[in-house]
Amino acid sequence: MKKWLTLLSLSMIVLFSSLFVNVSDTSAAANKTRLIAEAKKLIGTPYRYGGTTPKGFDCSGFVYYTHKKVGVTLPRSSKEMYKKGKYVHKSNLKPGDLVFFNTSKRTKGVSHVAIYIGNNRVIHAVSRGVKIDNLNSSYWKTKYVGAKRL
């Protein structure tokens, strides 16, 4: 009888605690899926310096806009965005993480931001408009600074 009660108690604890973990994980994953879906709707949108709308985006305007669409408020610049969230090693990236680059020869630190969408790919606003690129391309690989998870 004691073994049965102990087993039942342990089972209930595991079940009860897993409900909370799975709910938050599922909710976060759903939000990231929505974020990426919103971002993909904007593929082909033209680049516009300072742009924050579907009429035209710069990199941080694109990230700012897509996050706002799913209820997440971020700072407006890539440098300020880099101060948010928790650092993530490149090998542990998950869809929805923010990925930062330095594309400027004149300044140090962060000058570009993108959204990681999985399989070593990012979606971002560049001079050719909103598009998907590979993190391992010869250009982006050399510009990588770091990543953050919100």
Q: Which residues are catalytic?
A: 59, 112, 124
Which uninterrupted H or E stretch holds 12?
Answer: helix 2-41
Tell me the C-alpha distance between 68 and 80, whole Å: 16
From the CB of residue 148, how many other CB atoms can be counted at a distance below 10 Å? 17
Neighbouring-strand partners of residue 100? 113, 146
Backbone angles phi, psi at 35, to 5 degrees: -60, -50
DSSP code of 54? T
